[in-house]
Amino acid sequence: MIRGAAGAANHSVRWDRINSGDVLRRARQVYFHYCEHVPGGSEPLGIVLQEATDQGRVVFEAPVLLPEERFIPLEMIGGRGARSRNNRRP
């Protein structure tokens, strides 16, 4: 089996091996950047972060991860499922 290949078991984050506050902060930044620049866009599945950088990407289907990448499900970062964009006040 290829390490990091797509699959439900491979998407769990080992919170005991990472700085969870930093990972969630970075994932939220990527997600909110997406929300700001793609109003009314599709609901993503989650965020893929590169461990060594502040870069990340929004994904809409189960990703194939590189060894230095982590998948953060949208539910972990408080995405639109928790609060709809349409309920925001101007």
Over residues 2-46, the pLDDT tens digits come to: 454 544 444 456 655 666 778 889 999 999 999 999 888 788 999
Q: Nearest Cα to 73, choosing from 39, 88, 65, 89?
A: 65
Q: What is the pTM of this model?
A: 0.68
Mean pLDDT of the chain: 76
Range of the domain at 19: 8-87
Evaluate whether residue 2 is within a structural domain: no
Evaluate whether residue 39 is within a structural domain: yes
Cα 90 to chain centroid distance, Å, stands at 26
Evaluate whether residue 66 is within a structural domain: yes
Evaluate whether residue 58 is within a structural domain: yes
- Residue 83, sorted as left (phi over 0), alpha (psi -120 to 50) or beta, turns out to be beta
Cα 54 to chain centroid distance, Å, stands at 12
Which band of pLDDT confidence, cut at 50, 70 and 90, is reported for residue 53?
Answer: confident
| Pairwise CA distance, residues 75 & 81, whole Å | 7
Evaluate whether residue 1 is within a structural domain: no
Evaluate whether residue 3 is within a structural domain: no
Number of domains, the chain: 1
